[in-house]
């Protein structure tokens, strides 16, 4: 059972612990499972987004809700707005929504309903516009998708209209809701949470974006370079329903025209850049990201975190996995932490979580480090590249190179995974600069920025830069299936189950491998965007150009005895497309610097 103080909160929907409540240790202040999951109300409400679909119909989004029937007061809402409920599914086991013969929701993917509904929460799973049972179009993070979730927050607060069917006129109200909403989700789902938070909508109390995008430009582009991972219109086709496929051709045309191969930052991308509106964020933020996420690159969490207003209470978890949910890499601690986070921000329980360390980082498999804040580096260390006696091989440190020092490479369209091999020998595809063996552990915590001055031999060129940790280490095997985790044959249960919706999930464990070198941060750029991202410029062969771009945000411990290296190449075929040429690039070392978020000294 709940403690007396918390039971009052759950029953009345209050936002603070009553002053008269007897003192209780923070660990005991938590919602307990006092409501029946089997008897919960399961319903669908179609919420009007205020937008019109291309066929002239009003866009309504299907919102499947499960809430405790016995609650005598109003309850807060945990929301996951997703395009995947009828296509790829959610979670490690790709769960999809299911319905009975009358259309009533049966399976709510993931454990949020099983665990939190008995504890006095409602869970709302929203089909984004143009997906599953919602009408409208998939616009890949644009106005319609943000409205899909924002309108539900508004409906839960009495500011939008909801209906009992997709096209009917019978209204539905959320008289059972306190109006306090927490949005959560991995990948596209968490991206929508970021976007809705950037509107500043009232009632959104917290977001938990997991492996989420903060700018769709940075999902498909990197400082003008084009990733090879697909296109916005292609992604829309993966998740759209049959009505969207039939009626939304104009939307996909807009996505395609707004994402030119030039790599320009267009109006289409600006609409989908939540970083530019981060000043509007009022909700608390609990960000989670895999430091080896090669799908949603880590620049997305780093730039979002850095521009959040100072008033925003926040917490961050950074794992050594790839694109993986914390439920699958640190399950018991995650469920407990998330429970206390929602209890605090949605039920108003003073459990002290906002006063705990704001940063938790996995430094090696299943070894975690807490810190008071993130990033740790207060200001960047300027690092320089000095030539050595072997062509294209040199030293990384704080000493400037001799004036006029240069190094050359040719775009032979290979991979950074190849470039980092044989670090002491010349390679025509890259140049490499390494520190001496480190005397002490150092930590790179934040976002690295590089400025390169390069002279191309042709009219277009790409640049790639990677930071490498040279030294033996056991790491999560993030480049294989599972991206650092493996499924076990056992299951554990997290909440209550019913027929058709089990709370029991496959257990997982770390999947590890031993390496002698590991790329810890990556960055790419198109040299033709040296003057800005709005327009790609044609280069003049033989003319030097200077460009500054970011490498992926990271937090890595480099042990004593290891070496840290910077490798510069051109087209990194594992990630970006070529500029259509094979130029030679001459790097001016005296005008090339690395600003490293370093804790310690090289």
For residue 352, give the H/E element and its range: none
Which distant-in-sequence residues (6+ apart) come within 8 Å of 382 by Cβ?
398, 593, 594, 595, 596
Q: In terms of Cα–Cα distance, which of 536, 525, 528 is closest to 571? A: 525
Q: In terms of Cα–Cα distance, which of 376, 153, 138 is closest to 250? A: 138
The active-site residue, picked from 48, 113, 154, 293, is 293
Answer yes or no: are the C-beta atoms of 470 and 565 closer than 8 Å. Answer: yes
Rounded CA-CA distance 290/510 in Å is 13
Answer yes or no: are the C-beta atoms of 120 and 9 closer than 8 Å. Answer: no
Answer yes or no: are the C-beta atoms of 158 and 173 closer than 8 Å. Answer: yes
The active-site residue, picked from 111, 289, 323, 562, is 323
Q: E strands, 309-387, where?
A: 314-319, 359-364, 367-371, 381-387
Which distant-in-sequence residues (6+ apart) come within 8 Å of 227 by Cβ?
219, 220, 221, 575, 576, 577
562 is catalytic: no
Answer yes or no: are the C-beta atoms of 304 and 194 closer than 8 Å. Answer: yes
Longest CA–CA span in the chain (Å) reads 79
Strand duo 41-52 + 485-493: pairing: unpaired
Rounded CA-CA distance 438/301 in Å is 29
CB atoms within 10 A of CB 12: 13
Rounded CA-CA distance 527/459 in Å is 10
289 is catalytic: no
For residue 341, give the H/E element and its range: helix 331-347
Backbone phi, psi, residue 407, to 5°: -150, 150
Q: In terms of Cα–Cα distance, which of 225, 300, 290, 324 is closest to 575? A: 225
Relative orientation angle of helices 143-156 and 188-197, to the nearest 10 degrees: 70
The active-site residue, picked from 82, 161, 177, 187, is 187
Beta pairing partners, 99: 105
Answer yes or no: are the C-beta atoms of 478 and 322 closer than 8 Å. Answer: yes
187 is catalytic: yes
Catalytically annotated residues: 187, 293, 323
């Amino acid at each position: 059972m709940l403690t007396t103080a918390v039971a009052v909160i759950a029953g009345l929907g209050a936002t603070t612990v009553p002053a008269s409540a007897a003192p209780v240790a923070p660990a005991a202040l938590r919602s307990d499972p006092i409501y029946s999951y089997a008897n919960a109300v399961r319903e669908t409400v179609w919420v009007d987004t205020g937008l019109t679909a291309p066929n002239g119909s009003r866009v309504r989004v299907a919102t499947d809700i499960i809430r405790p029937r016995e609650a005598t007061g109003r309850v807060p809402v945990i929301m996951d707005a997703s395009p995947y409920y009828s296509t790829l599914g959610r979670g490690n086991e790709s769960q999809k929504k299911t319905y009975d013969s009358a259309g009533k929701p049966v399976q709510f993917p993931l454990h949020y309903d099983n665990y939190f509904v008995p504890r006095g929460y409602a869970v709302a799973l929203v089909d984004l516009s143009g997906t599953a049972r919602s009408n409208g179009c998939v616009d890949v993070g644009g106005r319609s998708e943000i409205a899909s979730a924002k309108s539900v927050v508004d409906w839960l607060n009495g500011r939008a209209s909801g209906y009992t069917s997709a096209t009917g006129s019978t209204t539905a109200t959320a008289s059972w809701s306190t109006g306090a909403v927490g949005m959560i989700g991995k990948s596209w789902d968490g991206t929508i949470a970021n976007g809705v938070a950037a509107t500043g909508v009232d009632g959104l109390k917290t977001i938990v974006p997991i492996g989420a995008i903060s700018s769709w430009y940075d999902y498909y582009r990197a400082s003008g370079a084009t990733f090879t991972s697909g296109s916005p219109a292609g992604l829309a086709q993966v998740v759209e329903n049959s009505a969207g496929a039939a009626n939304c051709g104009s939307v996909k045309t807009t996505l395609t025209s707004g994402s030119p191969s030039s790599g320009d930052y267009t109006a289409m991308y600006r609409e989908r850049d939540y970083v530019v509106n981060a000043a509007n964020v009022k909700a608390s933020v609990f960000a989670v990201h895999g430091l080896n996420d090669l799908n949603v690159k880590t620049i997305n969490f780093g730039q979002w975190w850095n521009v959040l207003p100072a008033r925003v209470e926040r917490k961050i978890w950074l794992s050594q996995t790839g694109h993986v949910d914390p439920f699958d890499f640190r399950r018991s601690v995650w469920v407990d932490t998330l429970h206390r986070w929602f209890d605090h921000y949605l039920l108003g329980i003073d459990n002290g979580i906002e006063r705990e360390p704001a940063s938790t980082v996995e430094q090696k498999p299943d070894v975690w480090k807490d810190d008071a804040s993130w990033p740790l580096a207060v200001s960047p260390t300027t690092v320089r590249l000095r030539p050595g006696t072997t062509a294209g091989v040199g030293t990384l440190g704080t000493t400037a190179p001799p004036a006029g020092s240069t190094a050359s490479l040719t775009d032979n369209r290979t991979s950074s995974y190849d470039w980092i091999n044989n670090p002491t020998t010349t390679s025509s595809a890259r140049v490499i600069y390494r520190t001496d063996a480190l005397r002490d552990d150092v930590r790179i915590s934040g976002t690295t920025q590089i400025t390169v001055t390069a002279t191309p031999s042709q009219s277009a060129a790409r640049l790639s830069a990677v930071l490498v940790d040279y030294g033996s280490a056991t790491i999560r095997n993030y480049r294989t299936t599972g991206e650092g985790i493996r499924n076990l044959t056992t299951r554990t249960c997290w909440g209550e189950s019913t027929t058709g919706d089990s709370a029991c999930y496959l257990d997982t464990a770390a999947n590890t491998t031993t390496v002698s070198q590991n790329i810890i941060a990556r960055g790419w750029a198109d040299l033709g965007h040296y003057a800005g991202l709005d327009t790609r410029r044609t280069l003049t062969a033989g003319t030097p150009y200077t460009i500054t771009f970011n490498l992926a945000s990271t937090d890595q411990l480099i042990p004593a005895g290891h070496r840290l290296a910077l490798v510069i190449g051109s087209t990194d075929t594992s990630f970006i497309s070529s500029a259509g040429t094979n130029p030679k690039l001459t790097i001016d070392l005296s005008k090339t610097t690395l600003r490293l978020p370093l804790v310690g000294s090289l």
